C-alpha cells in the first residue's frame, strides 16, 4: 500500500470521526423543538453538547487540511466546483456557533426563540449539504481535461444527491436523538427516545435506498457488505432506542455512520473525484497526490499528534460523562449562566 492510499484512508477516517462526533451535535440542534418544552428543557438538551461541540468541529478542519496537503489537486477542484455549497456550509456552521453562544446573553424569551430557530436551521443545512456533496462525489461530476469543474449548482441538485442529503439529515437526527437519550434523564430523555424511533422509521428506507443505489450504480460489488451492515445497524438502533438500551443504540448509530462512510469512499477509490464527462479526466489517488516527501512528513506528524488529540478528546468526554436533568444545567455543563434581573444588578 502506497502513502497515497494511506492518506486516502486517513481522510476517510477523519470524515468518519467528524460525522460521528459533530453528527450528534447536528442532531441535537435540529431536534431541539421536539425534545424541549420550556427553557430548562432546552438548556438540558444543549448542555449535552455544550462542552464538546466546538472540539468536534476540529475533525472537519483537520479533514480539510489533510485534503489540501495530501491531495492538493483534489482540494482545488473540489472547493472551486462546490464553492457555493461549501460557502453555505461555512455560514451555517458560523451561525450555529453564534446561536449556541448568544442565546443566553439576554434573558428574553423572544431573543432565545430567534436564536433557537437559527440553531435548528444551521444544524439541518450542513447535514443536507454534506450529503449532497458526498453523493455527487460518488456519482461523479463534470470535469474537463484540466480537472476544472464545468457544471453549475443545478448540476449538483440531482435526485441521487438530494436523496443523499435527506438521508444524512435523517441519520444525524437519529444519532442525535439517541445521544440525547444517553446523556439526559427525565422528560427530555423520554422525548428523545420518541424522536429516535420516528427518525429511525424515516432513515431506514431512505438510507437503504440511497446506499443500495450507491453500491449498485457507482461502486464495486463488495460495497453491498457495508450497505447491509448500515441497514442492519439502523434497524437495531431504532429497536434498541425503543427498549431503553441507549448505550447499545448509540453504538449501532456509530456503526451505521462508519458503514455509510465506507460505502461512499469505497465507491470513489481509486478515484478521489470521478469525472462524469470522461473517466480519463478523473482525479485519482495518484494524479491528485502531493509528492512522496510531503506525504512522508505528514505521516510522521500525524503519527505523533493524532494520539494526543484522541486522548484529549476522550478525556473531555469522560469529564462530562454524566447524565443531565432539569436540576443540572448551567455553567457546570459548559453553558453560560442564565441572566436574570437579580444577577444583572
Peptide bond connecting 270 to the previous residue in cis, omega within 30 degrees of 0: yes
Give the C-alpha distances (Å, rounded to integers) separating 119 from 26, 86, 142: 9, 18, 34
Sign of CA dihedral 276, 7, 207, 212: positive
At 300-325, the pLDDT tens digits run: 999 998 899 889 889 989 998 888 88
Q: What mean pLDDT is reported for the chain?
A: 90
Give the residue among 157, 178, 336 at the shortest CA–CA distance from 254.
178
The domain in which residue 196 lies consists of 3-344
pLDDT score recorded for residue 33: 93
Return d(Cα 228, Cα 212) in angstroms, integer.
Answer: 9
Sign of CA dihedral 162, 167, 170, 171: negative
| pTM of the full structure | 0.91
Count how many domains the chain has. Answer: 1
| pLDDT score of 152 more than 90 | no
Lowest mean pLDDT among 228-232, 285-289, 294-298, 332-336: 332-336
At 88-126, the pLDDT tens digits run: 999 999 999 999 999 888 888 889 999 999 999 999 999
Amino acid at each position: 500500500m502506497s502513502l497515497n492510499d494511506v492518506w486516502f484512508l486517513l481522510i476517510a477516517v477523519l470524515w468518519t470521526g467528524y460525522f460521528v462526533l459533530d453528527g450528534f451535535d447536528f442532531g441535537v440542534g435540529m431536534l431541539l423543538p421536539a425534545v424541549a418544552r420550556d427553557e430548562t428543557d432546552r438548556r438540558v438538551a444543549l448542555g449535552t453538547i455544550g462542552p464538546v461541540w466546538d472540539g468536534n468541529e476540529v475533525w472537519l478542519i483537520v479533514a480539510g487540511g489533510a485534503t489540501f496537503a495530501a491531495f492538493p489537486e483534489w482540494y482545488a477542484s473540489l472547493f472551486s466546483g462546490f464553492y457555493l455549497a461549501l460557502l453555505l456550509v461555512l455560514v451555517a456552521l458560523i451561525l450555529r456557533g453564534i446561536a449556541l453562544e448568544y442565546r443566553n446573553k439576554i434573558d428574553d424569551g423572544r431573543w432565545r426563540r430567534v436564536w433557537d430557530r437559527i440553531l435548528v436551521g444551521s444544524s439541518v443545512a450542513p447535514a443536507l449539504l454534506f450529503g449532497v456533496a458526498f453523493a455527487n462525489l460518488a456519482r461523479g461530476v463534470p470535469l474537463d481535461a484540466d480537472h476544472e469543474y464545468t457544471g453549475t449548482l443545478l448540476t449538483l441538485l440531482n435526485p441521487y444527491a438530494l436523496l443523499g442529503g435527506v438521508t444524512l439529515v435523517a441519520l444525524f437526527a437519529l444519532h442525535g436523538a439517541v445521544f440525547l437519550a444517553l446523556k439526559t434523564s427525565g422528560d427530555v430523555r423520554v422525548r428523545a427516545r420518541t424522536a429516535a424511533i420516528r427518525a429511525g422509521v424515516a432513515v431506514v428506507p431512505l438510507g437503504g435506498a440511497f446506499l443500495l443505489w450507491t453500491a449498485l450504480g457507482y461502486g464495486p460489488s463488495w460495497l453491498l457488505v457495508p450497505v447491509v451492515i448500515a441497514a442492519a445497524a439502523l434497524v437495531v438502533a431504532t429497536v434498541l432506542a425503543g427498549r431503553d438500551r441507549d448505550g447499545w443504540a448509540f453504538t449501532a448509530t456509530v456503526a451505521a455512520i462508519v458503514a455509510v462512510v465506507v460505502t461512499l469512499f469505497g465507491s470513489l477509490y481509486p478515484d478521489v473525484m470521478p469525472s462524469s464527462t470522461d473517466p480519463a479526466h478523473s482525479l485519482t489517488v495518484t494524479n491528485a497526490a502531493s509528492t512522496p516527501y510531503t506525504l512522508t512528513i505528514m505521516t510522521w506528524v500525524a503519527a505523533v499528534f493524532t494520539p494526543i488529540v484522541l486522548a484529549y478528546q476522550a478525556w473531555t468526554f469522560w469529564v462530562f460523562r454524566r447524565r443531565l436533568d432539569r436540576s443540572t444545567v448551567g455553567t457546570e455543563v459548559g453553558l453560560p449562566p442564565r441572566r436574570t434581573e437579580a444577577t444583572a444588578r
